[in-house]
Structure 1
Amino acid sequence: MIDPVNYEVELKVKGDTPSEDKLLSLLLIEDKYYPPTERCQGVHCHTYSSKLSTVEVTVGHLSRTVEATIVFQVVEGSWPIQYHGRFVAHMASLDDLEMELVDSRGGTVTTSSDGAIELSRCVVPVEVDGELKLWVDAWHDDDRGIVVGKDQVTFAPGRAGRSVDTCDVGFCKMRVTVAWSLLVNW
């Protein structure tokens, strides 16, 4: 925690195949550790610009954390192909920082044959004495103007095991499963 941490950020425009991807920005960032203080709870935003892009990197300090592995699975109804969606994890201890699990933007929400939503990110850290909130927003058109459903579920972290709840966005219900595991012994 004393030495600087290096982050490598690669920003691409995805093509139809990996060989068609276009690299917009490649950054190597060295960031020093800043312990939380009363004035700043350990969240620092850095903006880096190049000729083609601007990348914002947010770094936050978490103490005594567990790892949350998240699965959304449609168990009633279905996710219509014309509906877009955004799935977000939120921890109040990080100054209301959101971690995007998936945002279909102009595309569709992808589900597997068993109804599991394919997330871009499915693992997030959570402070032991905090809470994990998971939000789902669904809309009908590309500009998010017509909201068709939304819901949120909240979990108290565990040191191990699983927590399960249901998220109801109106047109479908999803079982939300969070598997907890320790990052380090404390």
Structure 2
Amino acid sequence: MQDPYLVLVGPTRAVLYSGYVYFDAMLKVKGRTEFEDTDLSLVFERFLCCEKLNLCVSFGECMLRSCVSSSLYTSKLSTLELTCGLVVSSVEATIAAQIVKGSWPEGSRGQLTACIGSVGDMNVMLLDSREEKLPVIAADGTIQLSRRVVSVERFGQLIVRGVVNRGGGDHDKVLAEGKASFAPLDAGRSRGTLDLNGMCKLEITVAWSLILKYPPVGGLPPTS
């Protein structure tokens, strides 16, 4: 059996984790010009796994548990919280959303998130419309997501959630919510319906692909 491997996921990208990983974060307060920008937080830290490498058994194979952890980094001007999740034995899920029935309520805040079943408290934000109009970019109801790709355990579950909140000052008032679940595949597509309490229905399409642990024999094909 090959050694298990981990994939690191965050709000911007997924990274194959087979050794040491370092995070470099630079936060600035914008001024009127670039020369007037002020440093708020500078962090360069090595990532440490969020828990001991305990083994579990799934489908007769030993593999590491997925996990999530947070660390605080304090500077003179700010405190930065860095949350990292390790997703074991991963496949890549590329998500698309389309309104197929009804319409999104005007003036409300819409959020679409994704998580894996074993680490349900780590939600990856796919879309947060705030109080702006939902970014529908095609006549067929296709929604423009701010993030589309997440990593999912091959033996686990992908969960996509949708929440509609009231606009104005009552942001905590939930008008509708729903979820759709998907079993991972090595390749191909999955489709499911996310029903927001009858207000509207979204068709969620997930395209699956493997994450390469090693480069293919002969190298990657040249780009044109």
| TM-score relative to the length of structure 1 | 0.80
Residues 12, 108 of structure 1: CA spacing in aligned structure 2 closer, same or farther, 3 A cutoff?
farther
Residues 31, 82 of structure 1: CA spacing in aligned structure 2 closer, same or farther, 3 A cutoff?
same
Residue 145 (1) aligns with residue 172 (2): yes
Q: Which residues of structure 2 form unaligned runs of 5+?
A: 1-16, 32-36, 56-64, 215-224
Residue 8 (1) aligns with residue 36 (2): no
1:181 maps to: 209
C-alpha deviations, 1:87-123, integer Å up to 9, x for none? Answer: 1111132363221212233434322123222222110
Which of 35, 43, 47 is equivalent to 1:31? Answer: 47
Query: What code does the residue aligned with 2:142 have?
Result: A
1:126 maps to: 152
Q: What pairs with 1:160-179 in structure 2 (closer than 5 Å)?
A: 160-169=187-196, 170-179=198-207
> What RMSD in Å do the two structures reach over aligned CA positions?
3.0
| TM-score relative to the length of structure 2 | 0.68
Query: What code does the residue aligned with 2:173 have?
Result: I
Query: What code does the residue aligned with 1:178 have?
Result: V
Which of 48, 53, 66 is equivalent to 2:91? Answer: 66
Residues 72, 53 of structure 1: CA spacing in aligned structure 2 closer, same or farther, 3 A cutoff?
farther
Further displaced range: 141-150 or 168-177:
141-150
Which of 128, 131, 142 is equivalent to 1:103? Answer: 128
CA contact (8 A) 1:138 1:147 kept: yes
CA contact (8 A) 1:85 1:108 kept: no
CA contact (8 A) 2:66 2:88 kept: no
* Structure of greater Rg: 2
Q: Which residues of structure 1 form unaligned runs of 5+?
A: 16-20
Alpha-carbon distance in 2 for matches of 1:6, 1:44: 15
Residues 167, 123 of structure 1: CA spacing in aligned structure 2 closer, same or farther, 3 A cutoff?
same
Aligned residues: 181
Alpha-carbon distance in 2 for matches of 1:112, 1:52: 40
Residues 26, 112 of structure 1: CA spacing in aligned structure 2 closer, same or farther, 3 A cutoff?
farther
Structure 1 residue 56: Cα displacement:
1.8
